[in-house]
């Protein structure tokens, strides 16, 4: 199988060299080049439309990263952008007091999300998960936290501990998704001091295969929270308004005390939410302080209201599930055809192609070669993060993607046939 031609990313690399003189490391966080494949992926993008991206060198991609999840409809969704532009031009969006769209959006959330009674609006997922932990601690009067999943960059949960005194995270204990036994052990030891169990109700661990809940897992977590008087927090930053309008809690039928929302709710505009049961949420009214100059800005509220309106009207989630399930079945057929150790996990709206095997170097090589071929062919996945399907992915886009996946699988199969 012929190797795909390397992309011209000269301008991206030039901008990156310049950026290193202006920004620590050039690019920070999950967007730094080392989190992709050095020398193969663009580093700077110029624009996007629908499900397609154009980088600064003019290369075009069908995108499956979707801005790391916020793009549920598509890039530059005109109806959403026009609503925000009208708000900015006709009324403004940053004031000393709150505009009434706060109430409108809170009522929308109460309609969809099983746990939603009261809501607090913030800007980022990290803001919201940290606020949820603070609320849980204030409500219970306890300190310890059990966690499962990625919950942002703040001191209590960030994976890289540089610059953080140990005392800021010494009361936080990790358990793995679908491992109820480990959580039972932790709660038997620390349960009476535990303020919160925070977890992703659908398993999407960093850099690893995705997992649906085993029978009884979420129900078991709920029972443990009840038994020890801990607040159960579902981190639905990625899953709410994507797996269901009401999130994974609607899909799987287990209701937490608090829910954290963000990403797909506003199609790329910055807004996040902590929502939950009234008695728990009321701790935020009297026992703690949550505030920011920009939390009440109404551009995010307007974008969320319009995005939710479109999702209801166009049955967006149903559309994504239908085409996504067909797409995943065809991917699995290709994985079965080319025996290269590839695995497909996840569900229709969010899925991941990983590679498995006993030889770590071989696994790494296959993964790198597969995703190198895909980016060179113009399909934007990442080796280390799951993919998303958006509303604007067409059947033609998915058919082209399947062709590229087959060619890339065949390339890996040929290269590693011995």
Structure tokens at 23: 């920004």
Residue 206 has a pLDDT of 82
How large is the greatest C-alpha to C-alpha distance in the chain, in angstroms? 67
The segment(s) of the chain belonging to CATH 3.40.640.10 are: 78-313
Residue 181 has a pLDDT of 98
Structure tokens at 225: 């929270």
The segment(s) of the chain belonging to CATH 3.90.1150.10 are: 10-75+316-415
Provide mean pLDDT across the span 48-55: 98
Among candidate residues 395, 365, 366, 397, the one with its CA nearest the CA of residue 380: 397
Q: What pLDDT digit, counting tens, does each position of 93-118 carry?
A: 999 999 999 999 999 999 999 999 99
What is the torsion angle, in degrees rounded to the nearest 10, for the CA atoms of residue 145, residue 148, residue 153 and residue 154? Answer: -10
Tell how strand 258-261 and strand 272-276 pair up: antiparallel
Structure tokens at 325: 């399930």
Structure tokens at 188: 């038997």
pLDDT band at 418 (very low <50, low <70, confident <90, very high): low
Which class in CATH covers the domain with range 78-313? Answer: alpha beta
Q: pLDDT > 70: what percent of the chain?
A: 100
Q: What pLDDT digit, counting tens, does each position of 151-210 carry?
A: 999 999 999 999 999 999 999 999 999 999 999 999 999 999 999 999 999 999 988 999
In CATH, which of 3.30.530.20, 3.90.1150.10, 3.40.605.10, 3.40.47.10 is domain 10-75+316-415?
3.90.1150.10
Q: What pLDDT digit, counting tens, does each position of 303-358 carry?
A: 999 999 999 999 999 999 999 999 999 999 999 999 999 999 999 999 999 999 89
Are 155 and 134 in contact by the 8 Å Cβ rule? The answer is no
pLDDT, the chain, mean: 97
Are 205 and 177 in contact by the 8 Å Cβ rule? The answer is yes
Structure tokens at 125: 């997922």
Q: What pLDDT digit, counting tens, does each position of 199-237 carry?
A: 999 999 988 999 999 999 999 999 999 999 999 999 999
Structure tokens at 182: 């480990």
Q: pLDDT > 90: what percent of the chain?
A: 97
How far apart are alpha carbons 409 and 338 in whole angstroms? Answer: 6
User: Does the pTM of the predicted model rise above 0.85?
Assistant: yes
pLDDT at 267 over 70: yes
Residue 207 has a pLDDT of 84
Residue 351's φ and ψ, nearest 5 degrees, are -145, 170
């Amino acid at each position: 199988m012929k190797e795909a031609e390397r992309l011209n990313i000269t301008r991206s690399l030039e901008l990156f060299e310049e950026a290193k003189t202006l920004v620590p490391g050039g690019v920070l966080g999950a967007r730094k080049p080392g989190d992709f494949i050095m020398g193969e992926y663009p580093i700077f993008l110029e624009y996007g439309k629908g499900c397609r991206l154009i980088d600064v060198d003019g290369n075009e991609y069908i995108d499956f990263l979707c801005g790391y999840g916020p793009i549920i409809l598509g890039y530059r969704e005109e109806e959403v952008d026009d609503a925000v532009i009208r708000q900015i031009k006709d009324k403004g969006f940053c004031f000393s007091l709150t505009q009434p769209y706060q109430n409108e959006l809170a009522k929308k959330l109460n309609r969809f999300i099983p746990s939603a009674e009261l809501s607090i609006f913030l800007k980022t997922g990290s803001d919201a998960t940290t606020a949820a932990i603070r609320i849980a601690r204030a409500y219970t009067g306890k300190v310890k936290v059990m966690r499962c999943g990625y919950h942002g960059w703040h001191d209590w949960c960030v994976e890289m501990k540089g610059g953080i005194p140990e005392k800021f995270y010494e009361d936080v204990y990790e358990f793995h998704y679908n491992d109820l036994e480990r959580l039972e052990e932790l709660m038997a030891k620390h349960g009476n001091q535990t303020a919160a169990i925070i977890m992703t109700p659908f398993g999407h661990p960093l850099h690893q295969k995705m997992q649906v809940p085993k029978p009884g897992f979420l129900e078991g977590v709920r029972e443990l929270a009840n038994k020890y008087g801990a607040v159960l927090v579902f981190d639905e930053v990625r899953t709410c308004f994507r797996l269901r309008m009401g999130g994974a809690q609607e899909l799987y039928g287990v209701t937490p005390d608090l829910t954290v929302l963000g990403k797909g709710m506003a199609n790329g505009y910055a807004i996040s939410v902590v929502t939950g049961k009234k008695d728990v949420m009321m701790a935020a009214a009297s026992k703690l302080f949550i505030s920011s100059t920009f939390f009440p800005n109404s551009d995010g509220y307007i974008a969320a209201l319009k995005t939710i309106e479109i999702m209801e009207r166009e049955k967006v989630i149903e559309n994504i599930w239908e085409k996504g399930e067909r797409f995943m079945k065809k991917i699995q057929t290709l994985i079965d055809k080319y025996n290269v150790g590839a695995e497909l996990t996840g569900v229709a709206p969010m899925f991941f192609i990983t590679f498995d095997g006993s030889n770590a170097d071989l696994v790494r090589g296959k993964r790198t070669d597969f995703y190198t071929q895909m980016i060179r062919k113009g399909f934007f996945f990442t080796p280390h993060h799951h993919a998303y399907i958006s509303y604007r992915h067409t059947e033609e886009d998915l058919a082209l993607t399947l062709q590229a996946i087959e060619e890339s699988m065949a390339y890996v199969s040929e290269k590693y046939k011995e």
